[in-house]
Amino acid sequence: MRGELKEPMGPIFTDAERLLAAAGDGPLVAVGDVVTYHLERAGVAPDVAVVDGLTEREAVDDDVAAGVARLGESAREVHVENPAATVTREMVEALREAIADPDPTVVVVEGEEDLVTLPAIVAAPLGASVVYGQPSEGMVLADVTADAKERMRDLLSRMDGDADALFEILDAT
């Protein structure tokens, strides 16, 4: 499934302002420290930011860490464990609750947030936007549509683990 996961789930942007102009009117979910930093620098606090202090498995630089920290000053902060190449129950529950919360939330992951985009698209309401980083290319804007939700459900159902339990948590919104 690595090949399927490497394909961008939407257009790639290198400019946060252009990305924001193309985003829908619904909630904005940012997955990744660098994406969150660029949105924060463009003057927009995502409704949900999922960060792990890493970019391409290396610690983020001080500017990115400071930008994420600024966002955290005005948002609720939740800490979860989520190992690499995994989507834990704790992660999905925190994601679902953060999306449902009308106030901004930063989900700080101990481990990695590398697969969180998939359940984020499933959990977010139609019309929302999920933004994540495409290594060495830019930021991907994934519009949350019925088709996108179905594609993410298909990918998640083919992964190892208990897909039924995952969907039960995600559908509890």
Q: What is the mean pLDDT of residues 27-40?
A: 96
Give the span between the Cα atoms of 111 and 8, in whole angstroms.
Answer: 23
34 has binding-site annotation: yes
What confidence tens digit (pLDDT) does each residue in 88-112 have?
Answer: 999 999 999 999 999 999 999 999 9
Residue 142's contacts (CB-CB under 8 Å, 6 or more residues apart) are: 9, 10, 117, 121, 129, 130, 131, 132, 148
33 is in an annotated binding site: yes
Confirm whether residue 77 is marked as ligand binding: no
Instruction: Check the annotation: does 4 bind a ligand.
Output: no
**For residues 102 and 134, what is the distance between their CA atoms, to the nearest angstrom?**
28
Q: Is 144 annotated as a binding residue?
A: no
Q: What is the pLDDT of residues 36-86, one digit of tens each?
A: 999 999 999 999 999 998 887 788 888 888 888 888 788 999 999 999 888
